[in-house]
Structure 1
Amino acid sequence: MRAHETRPLRRVVVTGTGVITPIGNTVESFWQSLIDGRSGISAIESWDASDLPVRIGAEVKDFDPAAYMPHKVSRRMDPSAQYGLAAAMEAVREAKLEMSDDLAARTGVYLGSSVGAAQMTYDTTVKLHERGARAVSPFFFATSGSESAAGEVAMWLGARGPSSSLSTACASGATCIGEAARLIQFGVTDVMIAGGAEAPVTRLNIAGAAACQALSRRNDDPSLACRPFDRERDGFVMGAGAGVVVLEEYEHALRRGAHILGELAGYGATTDAYHLTAPHPDALGTKTAMRIALESAGLQPQDVDYINAHGTSTQLNDSTEVSAIRGVFGEHATRIPVSSTKSMTGHLISATGAVELIAALLAVRRDVVPPTLNCNDPLDPDINFVPGVAQEWEVDVAMSNSFGFGGHNAVLVVRSLKEEESYAA
C-alpha cells in the first residue's frame, strides 16, 4: 500500500464561521432569527416580479458591500461573490487567522456556486440586447464564472493553496466543505476557507424554476410559503446568501491558540444517477451518503442528537428524505429533533449546505435546535420536526443533509469538542 493509505487521517476542526442570509448578515443575528422563528421570505423587492407566476423570495436585506470591500472591488463582482467574500471575511475574523507567507502556501479556498454570477449575467445580457456591445463591462468576462467568489476570497486572503468552485447543484456548499476537509485530512493543506455563495433570485431563475413547478406559489402569504415536511407543502422558495467556515487541522489550531468551535467529523457524498430533478424513489443515494458520513466519523446512528434536514418543502424531496432518515436511523429517528431552517431562510441553493452546517454547529455549541416553521400537519407524525418553536436539546453530534438536482448528495457531521476546547483556547 502507498504511504498515504497507511498513515492515519488528520482531524479537521472549525475555527471560524461567517454568513450573509435573508435573516441576518452576522452569525449572531442569523442564529437569533432562527431561534426566534423569524422568516426572511417576502415579496421580491429588488426588481419587478408582478408579471411572473411566482413573486416571492428570500432576498438578502440591508447588505452594504462598502462595509466589507472598496467600491473598486465590489463594482466588478456579482452579488453572489460579494456575499461570499463578506462571509469569508467574517469567518476569518472569528478565527483570528493571520496569513503568514508560509501559511499562505498551505491555505486553500473552496467556495461553491451552482448558478454563478446570475444577476451580472442577466443584467449584461439585457444591456447587450438593448444598448449594444459597448454597454458590456470589461470586467464581465473575467468575473462572470462560478469560480469568481473563490478567486476573490483567495486574492483578498492571499491564499496560495488549492482553490476551486465545486458545483453539485444545491449540495455545492456542503460538497465544498467536505472536499476541503479531505485536503486537510490527507495533508495537502492545513487551513481551508470553504462554503458556498449564491444570488439566484433573478428574473430568469425565478421564471425558470416556476416553469418546472419547483417553487411555492403562495404569493399572498410569503411567510407561510415554505412548509418543510408539512402535507400542504407546494414547493421551495428561492433565496440568496453565503455561508463560509474556516477549517483547520486540529494540531495546527492548537498550536496557534485558536478557539475551536467543533470538529467536522464526517462527510459522505453520493450520486443517485436516477433523474434530472427527482430523488431516487427508494432514497438509495441519500441513505448511502448518510451512512458514509457516519462511518467516516466513527459514529453510529444512535450517536446523532440532531439532524438539520435538507427539507426543501417540495413534495418529492421531503417524503424521500423522511424515508432516508427512517431507513438509516430506525426508531432513533423518533427520539431526536429533525428540523429544516429553509422554512426561514428559503433555499439558498449552493450556499444552503454551508449555512445549514453553521446552524447545526451552533446547535451543538448552544444545546438549542432551531424550529421548522409552518409544519402544522407533518407527513410523519412520529418524528419531531421541531414545529414552530425552538427546543432546548443536548446536542453533541449533529448531521446536516444537502441534496441537489442531478442526484447530488452531500452529508456533513459535526461534533462537540467541549472537553478539549479549554486546552485549545
Structure 2
Amino acid sequence: MTGLGLVTPGGTGVEAGWRAALAGVSTATRDPLLAGLQVDISCRVPDFDPDALLGRRLARRMDRNTQLSVVAAREAVAMAGLTDRDWDPVRVGVVIGTGGSSVDGLVDICGKLAAGRPETVPPMALPRSLPSASAAEVALDLGAAGPNFATSAGCASGLTAIGVARDLLRSGALDIAVAGGSECLCHPLAVTAFAQMGLLSSRPCDPRDAARPFGSGRDGFVAAEGAGILVLERAAHARARRAPVLAWTAGYGAAGDAHHIAAVHPEGLGAERAVRAALADARWQPQDVEHVNAHGAATPSNDAAEASWLARVLPHRPPVTATKAALGHAGAGSGGIEAVLSVLTLARRTIPPTANLTEPDPAFAEGIDLVTKVPRPGVARTALCVSTALGGQNSALALMAS
C-alpha cells in the first residue's frame, strides 16, 4: 500500500478523516434532508463541493458516491507519487466496492417517470447509476486501462474490493491497483429502509451520542457517506520506483454465514471463518494480531456476534476499536475507510478510540480490550480489519506495518 485517500464525515482528505477518528467524537448531526422521517440524523461529508473539486461538467455527470470515489482516488494516487508517466496504463486496474447502484439517481428517474415526463430523464442516467460507475469514472479520471469493476457484497464490499485487487496484483495481472469502497447511505429511501429494519439509532437527545458500538445502551448505527481508496502495488514495482510503503496486505479472507438474509449469525461463525482464512493467508497465528478495527455496527445482535468470535479467535485480547462510532456507517465505503484508518494506525502508532463507549456491555466487556475515550499510543506491527453485511457476507483483511 503506497497511497491513501479519504472523504469522510470528518472532512475531505486523509488528515481530516484521521483527526476525526482520533477525536473520538461522533460526527452525527440532525439532517434537514431527513426531516420528518423516523430517524433524522446522519453523518454527511461537510463542505463537500464537487464543482470546485472536480469541475462542474464532470461533477454533474456523476452521482454522489462516484464523486466521493474520484476525489479519494486522486488523493491516494497523489500520495503514492504516481503520474501517468510512471505506469503502463494497461497494467493499472481499479476495483471499487459498492453495496448497490445509486439510490439518488434512480429515485430521480422514477420521479420523472411517475410524473409522466420521460423526456426529462438525463441521457447519462443509466451509466451513472450502475454499480460499476465509480470504478469506471475513477479509471477514466486516472487513465487506467487495466480491469475496472465493482465488487458488491453489501457492507463488506469495500474490504472485498481490496482483497480482490490484492489477488490481481499477486497473480501478476497488474502492477498497480486502485481499490476501496464508496457509498452514500444518507438518502431518505435508504434511511427509511434501515429504520424499518430497526438497524438505526434513534436517540432523541444529542445526535453525537447515538452510535455506541459494544456499549450496553447501543441501539443501532448512524447512516453516513464516504469513501476510502488505497493504491496497492506489486512489491517489485514499488521498489523499482523507490516508493515509500505505508503498509503491506498480508492476508485476505471471505466467508458467508448461510444463516439469514437480514441477520448475522448469532455466534459470528461466518466472520470467524473469514478471519481465520485471512490469518491462514498471512501465515499468522491468532496471537500475531496486535490490533483490530472491528465492524462495530452498534446494533445489539451484530456487536454480540462480533464479541463472540473475537473472544474465541483472539483470546489474547488485542486492542479493539470501532471507528463507525465517530464517522457513521457508510456501507461499502466503511470497509475502505477503515482499511485506510488501520494503515494510519500502524504507521502512526496510535489507535483511535471508540466514540461514545462509556459503558461497555458487561456481557462481553471482559473478553475484549476496547479502546475508549482517548487514543491509545503504542507500537502495533499488525492489524486486522473486518466487515460484515446483510446477506451474510464477511471479509477480513490482515495488514502489516512497513
Give the TM-score normalised by the residue count of structure 2: 0.97
Match of 1:3 in 2: none
SS at the partner of 2:115?
helix
Verify: 1:229 aligned to 2:214, yes or no. Answer: yes
- The alignment partner of 1:244 has SS state of strand
Which secondary structure does the structure 2 equivalent of 1:75 belong to?
helix
Alignment match, 1:44 = 31
Equivalent residue in structure 1 for 2:42, among 43, 57, 60:
57
Equivalent in the alignment of 1:350: 332
Counterparts of residues 128-143 of structure 1 (less than 5 Å): 128-130=113-115, 132-143=117-128
Q: Determine the structure 2 residue equivalent to 1:327.
A: 312
Partner of 1:29: 16
* Residue matched to 1:240: 225
1-side partners of 2:87 and 2:299: how far apart? Answer: 47
2:356 matches 1:374: yes
CA drift at 1:112:
1.1
Alpha-carbon spacing, 1:101–1:34, altered in 2? closer, same or farther (3 Å): closer
Q: Amino acid of the residue matched to residue 6 of structure 2?
A: V
Which amino acid in 1 is paired with 2:273? T
Distance 1:352 1:219 in 2: 25
- 1:6-46 CA distance string (max 9 Å, x none): xxxxxxxx00000110012110111111112232111113x
Q: By how many angstroms is 1:132 displaced? A: 1.2
Q: Distance between the aligned counterparts of 2:325 and 2:127, measured in 1?
A: 35
Give the CA deviation at 1:118.
1.4
Q: Distance in 2 between matches of 1:398 and 1:24?
A: 24
After superposition, give the CA deviation of every residue in 1:94-143 in whole Å (9 maximum; x if it has no partner).
01112249621111000011132111222232233236112211110121
C-alpha distance in 2 between matches for 1:354 and 1:98? 22
Give SS of 1:187's match.
coil
The CA deviation string for residues 299-345 of structure 1, in whole angstroms up to 9 with x for no partner, is 11111111000000001110000101111112x12xx2101000001
Residue 15 of structure 1 aligns with an amino acid whose one-letter code is T
Corresponding letter in the other structure for 2:57: K
| TM-superposition CA deviations, 1:325-384 (whole Å, max 9, x none) | 111112x12xx2101000001101001011001111111011110001121221222222
Structure 1 stretches of 5 or more lacking a match? 1-13, 418-425
Are the aligned partners of 1:23 and 1:38 in contact in 2 as well (CA < 8 Å)?
A: no
How far apart, CA to CA, are the structure 1 residues paired with 2:230 and 2:35? 37
Bigger mean CA offset, 117-126 vs 199-208: 117-126
SS at match of 1:105: helix
RMSD: 1.3
Q: Aligned residue for 2:196?
A: 211
- Structure 1 runs of 4+ aligned residues shifted over 6 Å read none
- Check whether the contact 2:20–2:327 (CA below 8 A) recurs between aligned residues: no
Q: For 1:48-197, list aligned pairs within 5 A.
A: 49-100=34-85, 103-130=88-115, 132-197=117-182
Q: Which moved further from structure 2: 96-105 or 253-262?
A: 96-105
**Cα contact 1:111–1:164 (8 A) shared by 2:** yes
Q: How many equivalent pairs are there?
A: 399
Q: Is the 8 A contact 1:80 1:116 kept in 2?
A: no
Structure-1 separation of matches of 2:191 and 2:398 = 32
Check whether the contact 1:169–1:404 (CA below 8 A) recurs between aligned residues: yes
SS in 1 for 2:232: strand
2:242 aligned with 1:289, yes or no?
no
Encode CA deviations 1:282-314: one digit per residue, 9 max, x unaligned: 322111111111111121111111100000000
C-alpha displacement of 1:52? 1.0
Provide closer, same or farther for how the CA distance between residues 67 and 256 of structure 1 changes in structure 2, counting only shifts above 3 A: farther
Distance 1:397 1:305 in 2: 5
CA distance in 1, matches of 2:377, 2:369: 13
In structure 2, what is the Cα distance between the partners aligned to 1:34 and 1:82? 22
Matches within 5 A, 1:393-412: 393-412=378-397
Greater mean deviation of Cα atoms: 101-110 or 301-310: 101-110
Q: Which runs of 5+ in 2 are unaligned?
A: none
**Partner SS for 1:165:** strand
What does the per-residue CA deviation read over 1:227-275, in whole Å, with 9 as the maximum and x for residues that have no partner?
0000110111110011100000011001011111010111011111110
Name whichever of 76-85 and 385-394 sits farther off: 385-394
Please name the residue that 2:245 is paired with.
Answer: 260
The residue type paired with residue 364 of structure 1 is: L
- Partner AA of 2:280 in structure 1: E
TM-score (norm 1): 0.92
Q: Which amino acid aligns with 1:409?
A: N
- Residue identity in the other structure for 2:75: E
Cα distance in 1 for partners of 2:373, 2:261 equals 33
Q: Is the 8 A contact 1:78 1:118 kept in 2?
A: no
Task: Look up the SS of the partner of 1:377 in the other structure.
Answer: coil
Give the distance between the partners of 1:102 and 1:73, measured in 2 at CA: 24
For 1:202 and 1:283, how far apart are their aligned partners in 2?
Answer: 29
Pick one of 307, 310, 313 that aligns with 2:295.
310
Would the aligned equivalents of 2:161 and 2:180 in 1 still touch at CA under 8 Å?
Answer: yes
